[in-house]
Structure 1
Amino acid sequence: MKRLLAIAEILVIVVIAIAPLFAVFPYRINIFLSWEGAYRMSEGQLPYKDFGIPLGYMYWAVPALFFKLFGPQLITLVKAQAFINLLSGFAFLSIGKSLKVQPGLRFLGVLLFSLSYSFLNYWPWYNHTVIVYELIGIAFLLKYLTGSQSRKQLLWLIPAGMFLFFSFFTKQDGGALGLLICLALLFYTGLTEKKWLPAGIFVGATLLTALVMILPFTGHGFGYWFNHGQPPHTSRVSLRDIIGEFMNGSMWLKFYLFIIALLLMVTIKNRKEYWRDKPQMIFTLLTLGIMAEAAIFQVTSYVPADNNIFFHSFAFIFIFALLGKLLPIDWDQKKYIIVGTIGVLLWWSHMVWKYFERFVFKGGGEPVATTKYNGIEYPNVVNKNTYILSLDTTDVPLSQWRVPNLKAFEKILVPGPTVDGIERLMAMPLVKNNKNLKVLNMSELTPLAVEIPYSLEAGDYYPLWFHQGVGMFEKQTDMFVDRIHKKHYDLVLYEYIPYANNFYPFRVREALLKDYKQIDVFPATRKPSSNSWIEVYVKE
């Protein structure tokens, strides 16, 4: 049975990770900066030297490598994420093995982790990658902490420190929280075993990795770009927001903590004995640390809204491991594995049902008759699907999205009117007949850089993306306004999103309206967020 479970764990991780490779995807909001960062690095550009980012560059490392291997298409990002999901799945599996979780329960934890945290993330995003590097680092750390701790075992602490810095150099908040969790585990073992060399090796490996990855860029504006809360950056750490989010929401976190508190009250017969039970204490500290991280991470990294759901799998295996000590549950018995599998699949059925629903209910439900009022069609049946009327006249239904006839957009669906706009752009004499165009592309259509093509501007002053106050600042906005005033660009694409606060600086649009000529406009690639347009400008 254990051998079958071991095979099943691997199959679950692999199948769920690679499943997206066989699909066609609608263009995802914000994926443009993933593409451009990976493209620039794959072309030999260096972060901070050739483009500025408020993060570390490890987020783009895997996508850049995949661009070198498979080409700079958007779909290559999906391939890179499949690899990242494989890494995260096997890291979680390794953690479960180190914690000596029963194979049956460990299989259920892997299934839950893959469904809740891998299947959802089929595009790379730094708020996900930061946790993946952290999990890999924790997996290496636990290899030492729960192993024989021989001198040879100390070597596990080196990749542990390296990957925890990779995590920090992907996103500061998640990486710092991961470091604190690891230091807490090392501090506990140092106190109980009176051995501090492991903590020293881990910290040393982390600091050495930091020096190797940062020192080459200190002469290229690293201190300006990398956000450690200094101006012009603003800190996202707000105790009020963290407490407010926890008290106003975080229903699953609070429920898990309540159950864990009850189970620990029953499990802990003698506090000193529990403190000396190293495997159990490490499991407890890790689980509580992950949940604390999730409570903070949901505030400091709030996009997307569910980016902290990695805590479910840790809480799940910890709670049911405690229950296994109190109840006659043998997680290696077939009946418990079957019931557990059905339970996890039902619990997270929403992750897969939306895909199966297309095949189960191919007709899309009963047709609803419509009536006209003031020239607008309304359903004349009021039910769960029709009781709220959308007043948005700019939304393009997914049924009207299609794949542009451009290699960079292979297998990527884009709104039909956006495709029409791209085709008009590509057919412009200015684009077709000029091989040295100077282009400012302030839109989410960054892959046009390889289709038009045009050279990307570079320099330690130049931002990778244009969200004011996040990816660039007043200094960069002034630079673009000045260049527009001097007619520096032959062609400008500006994405106008009136409801997003300076997602692309409004001052740039004001300058364009004053000094350039708008010759076209078409819907942006945003869904569910519509009411956004890509405007095409040329010199007057």
Structure 2
Amino acid sequence: MKLPALTPRNALIIESLLIIVLAIVPLFVTFPYRVNIFLSWEGAYRLSEGQLPYKDFGLPLGYGYWLVPALFMKLFGPQLISLVKAQVFLNIAGGFAFRGILKNVGVAPGVRVLSVLLFVISYSFFNFWPWYNNTVIIYQFIGLAFLLCAVNKPRGRWKWPALFVAALFTFLSFFTKQDGGGLALLLALALLGYHSLAEKRWQELAGFIGLYILVACAFILPFVPYHFGYWFNHGQPPHSSRLALKDFVDEFLYGSQWLKFYFVMTLLVTIPALRNWKGLWQDKQKMLFLLLTLGILVEATLFQVTSYTPPDNNIFFHSFAFAYIFSNLAQLLQLRTEQWKTFLLSAVMVLLWWSGAYYRYVSRILDRLIAPAPVAVVSGGENVINRNNYQFTETPGDVPVSEWTFSSLPEFDKIYMPPSTVQGIDRVMALPEAKKGKAAKVLNLTELTPLDHALGYQLETGNNIPLWHHLGVGMFNSQLHDYVEKVRNKHYDLVLYEHAPMLNNFFPWALREELKQHYRQVDSFLAPRRPTNAIIEVFVK
């Protein structure tokens, strides 16, 4: 029986299922404690409690990243798992924004569904936790989707509302992280610049710029009296700029294999259209698609240097490059991706290509169902070596994640940690200093920021209080000096300090020395890191 072609309606149903079903998977699982998630929780908690950025706490970014997590914390409570729920929402929004971008540049339904499949499994599926390097891209995609909608319908009734939403989310991208957000603005201006030249009309470009400035003023001006210029990093002291030409060149020429491959393939599949470059220039959708793809590839090239950790921050480019290259190849090879046989075969190839993104989870299930075969005992006591045991993969003293367990505190619901961490948390909660509630004066210099709510003390506020305590990034010498004076004066009843010797002054070492002189250490236990190479130390007066 011959199957009907893949219709736009069927494509929408499949895309929606891919985006939504894979996004909600995290709601049904448990998680190990995530490294660095402490600053996500802290910022969302402070905002959900009504504190104002820069007035009550300082941070080197905008507060755009924390808006959605704060909303979900307000709705579902100050548990870490509320952050996962926020990311589910962001993944769904990002998936539909990506679909909207491709629809607005005229990608055929078959290729679009395949691209959405690739986007979901290569970028959003394993982003369980919110992180600013991810949120900055999602906001950008939402902005691009509305921007392209506006330029494709220049005389429609929704043109100006769409441009406003585009300006809002493009600014929120910048106000989430300066590097990705700045590149998002440049890409938006490039697309609008082409639109203005092609249409010989500048209203949309001028309108977008004006709306962007208006949104920026609304978000920034209320906080200027609270040292906004000091906190917000635009390369000025005490901040440092991450723009170094040699770093970009090194990263691109030494590595970036996929990016260079996509640049070459984009050029190759565009050559037939370049033979009639005037026709290409006048074909608005094709030209916007080409500029968008090249812009995303350039952005990913720069973003991998300015946002260097974790190393896969920029893999959003795969889906755009695939959509452009495969769209052009399908035309050149006369492939009808709307035919089910072609579509299903292509989907299988995409799944095989990105099997590493989801097989890690399948492998964990298989490991529990199929016990690994024991190494055979050889007569004579030979040391049998194979691919599974030729080297030791665990750090000495590390606690395997398989041995991690859960805390009874609701703030850590569904989150497992090393047994030492869980037991240490219980001992901290039992301290007399921890039982003072709002009257307690606590300084929490650890990744266990949910203890702020569990202990119930009043968080310090002020425009010289940093949101997090990474020296040189989230706090600076001015704040360190204030904390040193408070420790010397024994201002705090209880101080929790995380000693991470492998990280360069992440939690200021100078403050640890002051604590050893002026406070009494009563406990220590493992921090919830992987590998477990950091210690949380407990100090009281």
Instruction: Indicate the TM-score class for this superposition, using the shorter chain for normalisation.
Output: over 0.9
What's the offset of the Cα at 1:74?
0.1
Distance in 1, Cα, partners of 2:387 & 2:480: 46
**Residue aligned with 1:470, SS:** coil
Q: 1:260 is matched with which residue? A: 266
Distance in 2, Cα, partners of 1:61 & 1:176: 19
Residues 266-296 of structure 1, C-alpha deviation per residue, up to 9 Å, x if partnerless?
Answer: 3322122212221111000000000000000
Distance in 2, Cα, partners of 1:275 & 1:282: 9
Normalised TM-score (structure 2): 0.96
* Structure 1 position 414 matched with structure 2 position 420: no
Q: 1:404 is matched with which residue? A: 407
Q: 2:533 is matched with which residue? A: 531
What's the offset of the Cα at 1:144?
1.5
Task: Note closer, same or farther for the CA distance 1:395–1:364 as it changes in structure 2 (3 Å cut).
Answer: farther
Q: Contact (CA 8 Å) 1:30, 1:444: kept in 2 or not?
A: yes
Given the alignment, which residue of 292, 306, 311 partners 1:305?
A: 311
What's the offset of the Cα at 1:380?
4.9
What's the offset of the Cα at 1:391?
7.0
TM alignment of 1:178-327, pairs within 5 A: 178-327=184-333
Q: Contact (CA 8 Å) 1:497, 1:532: kept in 2 or not?
A: yes
Q: 1:224 corresponds to which letter in structure 2? A: Y
What's the offset of the Cα at 1:383?
2.1
What's the offset of the Cα at 1:424?
1.4
Structure 2: gaps of 5 or more residues: 1-5
* Structure 1 position 87 matched with structure 2 position 93: yes
Task: Note closer, same or farther for the CA distance 1:99–1:344 as it changes in structure 2 (3 Å cut).
Answer: same
Q: 2:69 corresponds to which letter in structure 1? A: P
**Residue aligned with 1:494, SS:** strand
Q: Contact (CA 8 Å) 1:495, 1:524: kept in 2 or not?
A: yes
**Residue aligned with 2:242, SS:** coil
Given the alignment, which residue of 326, 332, 337 partners 2:338?
A: 332
Residues 44-102 of structure 1, C-alpha deviation per residue, up to 9 Å, x if partnerless?
Answer: 00000000000000100000000110001000000000000010000001111111111
Task: Note closer, same or farther for the CA distance 1:521–1:32 as it changes in structure 2 (3 Å cut).
Answer: same
Given the alignment, which residue of 166, 170, 195 partners 2:176?
A: 170
Residues 108-157 of structure 1, C-alpha deviation per residue, up to 9 Å, x if partnerless?
Answer: 00011111111121100000000111000000000012235446523321
Distance in 1, Cα, partners of 2:453 & 2:383: 48
Q: 2:439 is matched with which residue? A: 436
Q: Contact (CA 8 Å) 2:41, 2:83: kept in 1 or not?
A: yes
Q: 2:372 is matched with which residue? A: 365
Given the alignment, which residue of 21, 30, 33 partners 2:36?
A: 30
What's the offset of the Cα at 1:303?
1.6
**Residue aligned with 1:361, SS:** helix
Structure 1: gaps of 5 or more residues: 371-378
TM alignment of 1:58-207, pairs within 5 A: 58-150=64-156, 152-207=158-213
What's the offset of the Cα at 1:369?
8.3
Distance in 2, Cα, partners of 1:495 & 1:380: 41
Distance in 1, Cα, partners of 2:480 & 2:308: 25
Q: 1:517 is matched with which residue? A: 520
Normalised TM-score (structure 1): 0.96
Q: Contact (CA 8 Å) 1:267, 1:322: kept in 2 or not?
A: no
**Residue aligned with 1:203, SS:** helix
Q: 1:66 corresponds to which letter in structure 2? A: F
| Paired-residue identity, % | 54
Distance in 1, Cα, partners of 2:39 & 2:217: 26
Q: 2:435 corresponds to which letter in structure 1? A: K
Q: Contact (CA 8 Å) 2:438, 2:458: kept in 1 or not?
A: no
Residues 283-321 of structure 1, C-alpha deviation per residue, up to 9 Å, x if partnerless?
Answer: 000000000000000010112110101100000000011
Q: 2:253 corresponds to which letter in structure 1? A: M
What's the offset of the Cα at 1:536?
0.6
**Residue aligned with 2:272, SS:** helix
Q: 2:3 is matched with which residue? A: none
What's the offset of the Cα at 1:386?
1.9
Q: 1:309 corresponds to which letter in structure 2? A: I
Q: Contact (CA 8 Å) 1:267, 1:326: kept in 2 or not?
A: no
Distance in 1, Cα, partners of 2:407 & 2:157: 57
Given the alignment, which residue of 504, 509, 512 partners 2:507?
A: 504
Distance in 1, Cα, partners of 2:156 & 2:394: 67
Q: Contact (CA 8 Å) 2:150, 2:158: kept in 1 or not?
A: no
What's the offset of the Cα at 1:189?
1.3
Distance in 2, Cα, partners of 1:105 & 1:265: 20
Distance in 1, Cα, partners of 2:270 & 2:114: 22
Task: Note closer, same or farther for the CA distance 1:439–1:251 as it changes in structure 2 (3 Å cut).
Answer: same
Query: Bigger shift: 389-398 or 492-501?
Result: 389-398
**Residue aligned with 2:24, SS:** helix
What's the offset of the Cα at 1:452?
1.4
Distance in 1, Cα, partners of 2:310 & 2:393: 23
Distance in 2, Cα, partners of 1:437 & 1:380: 58
What's the offset of the Cα at 1:368?
4.7
Q: Contact (CA 8 Å) 1:168, 1:174: kept in 2 or not?
A: yes
**Residue aligned with 1:432, SS:** helix
Q: 1:388 is matched with which residue? A: 391
Q: Contact (CA 8 Å) 2:22, 2:120: kept in 1 or not?
A: yes
Distance in 2, Cα, partners of 1:383 & 1:241: 39
Q: 1:98 corresponds to which letter in structure 2? A: N
Q: 1:376 is matched with which residue? A: none
**Residue aligned with 2:497, SS:** strand
What's the offset of the Cα at 1:219?
0.3
The number of aligned residues is 531
